């Protein structure tokens, strides 16, 4: 069993990797999911998660407290319009932790607060992740680290138990991916027709493609595929072989469009040795995706002033980025 110092080192590395991955994904992806209004009955809510309400006032109070201590940086940030970024970053941490805490309780997963303390101590004197600035006071840093650790532990539990069965096609442009996603959303029959037509043209297309997270390449492991519910269509830009997603604006970027027929979390799959190392680094992606699925189950709502929720990275993205990846509920198959 690894010693506590080794575990702390691994956790710090995981957080560093997670920060880089989240930053890369946030620069290129978003999902048209729970970015809806919180409703006239809750005009002061930044987010509503089941019976939990995170108020706009609470978000602003914590931002003001963190930034005031950095004066005159506070005034500079005001002049550069970066307070919206701070609000998105802080609310992302609060929402993600709430979802992960609920999911961890349901799944019997625990993270020792002593380990959180150890990670914070190991980070003393080091610069915080760039995307964290300026909302990361000590309390928020603790919440971010605890959330990352919960996501990792949940991801570990389900890495060998999450499998999806899809019809999937690959295309060379976002516009074509959106068109194909809309066609697939008409239901299984329309999807089967599309896959057959694409295969006849010698393009990448496969029906009843079954893949588990434990055996997936980094290209798919970091995608929204494993965080998509049944009878749902998802279109997303493909990552490169290292798991880094291509820029959505790149004309040559490739996209995948998938109709998820089944999402199984009960059948154990053996790990692929060639993919195991990479998946060990990004297993938290699965945990965060599962937290977002829980958010959907709870009817989570986000005040649109803060942006839209990204299902894959479990964070808020701007309205510009939310158009990067599309997820559509498909017409239910006939019984």
Q: What is the pLDDT of residues 244-301, one digit of tens each?
A: 544 444 444 789 999 999 999 988 887 766 666 566 678 898 999 899 889 988 999 9
Does the pLDDT of residue 7 top 60, yes or no? no
Query: Which pLDDT belongs to residue 155?
Result: 92
Phi first, then psi, for residue 172 (nearest 5°) are -105, 10
The helix or strand, by DSSP H or E, that contains position 326, with its residue range, turns out to be strand 326-329
d(CA 86, CA 109): 30
* Residue of higher predicted confidence among 217 and 13: 217
d(CA 83, CA 64): 9
* Residue of higher predicted confidence among 318 and 135: 318
The alpha carbon of 324 is separated from its chain's Cα centroid by a whole number of angstroms, namely 13
What distances in angstroms separate CA 147 from CA 45, 152, 279, one per listed residue? 22, 9, 19
Place of tokens 């890495």: 159
**How much is the mean pLDDT over the chain?**
77
Does the pLDDT of residue 169 top 60, yes or no? yes
Confidence band, pLDDT 50/70/90 cuts, at residue 325: low
DSSP 8-state assignment for residue 335: -
Most confident of 79-83, 120-124, 142-146, 236-240: 142-146
Query: Which pLDDT belongs to residue 330?
Result: 84
Longest CA–CA separation in the chain, Å: 64
Q: What is the pLDDT of residues 110-147, one digit of tens each?
A: 999 999 989 888 876 555 554 444 456 778 888 999 99
Query: Which pLDDT belongs to residue 70?
Result: 59
* Residue of higher predicted confidence among 321 and 328: 328
d(CA 288, CA 282): 10
Confidence band, pLDDT 50/70/90 cuts, at residue 73: low
Tell me the mean pLDDT in the region 67-96. 70
The pTM of the whole model exceeds 0.85 = no
Tell me the mean pLDDT in the region 14-22. 38
Query: What is the C-alpha end-to-end distance of the chain, expressed in Å?
Result: 50
Does the pLDDT of residue 93 top 90, yes or no? yes
**Per-residue H/E/C for 225-279:** HHHCCCCEEEEEECECCCCCECCCCCCCCCEEEEEEEEEECCCCCCCCHHHHHHH
């Amino acid at each position: 069993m690894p010693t506590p110092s080794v575990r702390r080192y691994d956790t710090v590395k995981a957080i560093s990797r997670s920060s880089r991955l989240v930053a890369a994904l946030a620069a290129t992806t978003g999902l048209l999911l729970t970015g809806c209004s919180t409703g006239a009955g809750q005009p002061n809510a930044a987010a509503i998660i089941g019976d939990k309400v995170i108020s706009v006032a609470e978000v602003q109070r914590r931002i003001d407290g963190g930034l005031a201590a950095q004066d005159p940086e506070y005034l500079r940030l005001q002049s550069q319009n970066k307070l919206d970024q701070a609000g998105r970053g802080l609310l992302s941490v609060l929402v993600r932790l709430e979802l992960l805490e609920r999911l961890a309780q349901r799944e019997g997963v625990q993270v020792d607060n002593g380990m959180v303390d150890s990670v914070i101590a190991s980070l003393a004197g080091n610069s915080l992740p760039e995307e964290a600035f300026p909302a990361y006071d000590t309390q928020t840093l603790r919440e971010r680290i605890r959330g990352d650790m919960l996501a990792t532990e949940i991801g570990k539990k389900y890495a060998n138990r999450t499998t999806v069965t899809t019809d999937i096609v690959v295309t060379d442009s976002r516009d074509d991916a959106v068109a194909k996603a809309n066609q697939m959303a008409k239901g299984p029959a329309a999807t089967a027709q599309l896959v057959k037509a694409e295969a006849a043209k010698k393009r990448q297309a496969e029906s009843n493609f079954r893949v588990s997270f434990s055996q997936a390449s980094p290209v798919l492991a970091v995608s929204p595929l494993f965080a998509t519910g049944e009878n749902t269509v998802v279109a997303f830009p493909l990552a490169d072989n290292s798991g880094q997603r291509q820029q959505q604006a790149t004309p040559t970027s490739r996209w995948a469009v998938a109709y998820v027929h089944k999402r199984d979390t009960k059948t154990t799959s053996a790990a692929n040795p060639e993919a195991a190392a990479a998946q060990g680094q990004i297993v938290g992606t699965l945990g965060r995706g599962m937290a977002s699925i829980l958010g959907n189950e709870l009817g989570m709502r986000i005040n649109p002033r803060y942006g839209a929720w990204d299902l894959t990275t479990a964070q808020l993205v701007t309205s510009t980025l939310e158009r990067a990846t599309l997820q559509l509920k498909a017409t239910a198959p006939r019984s």
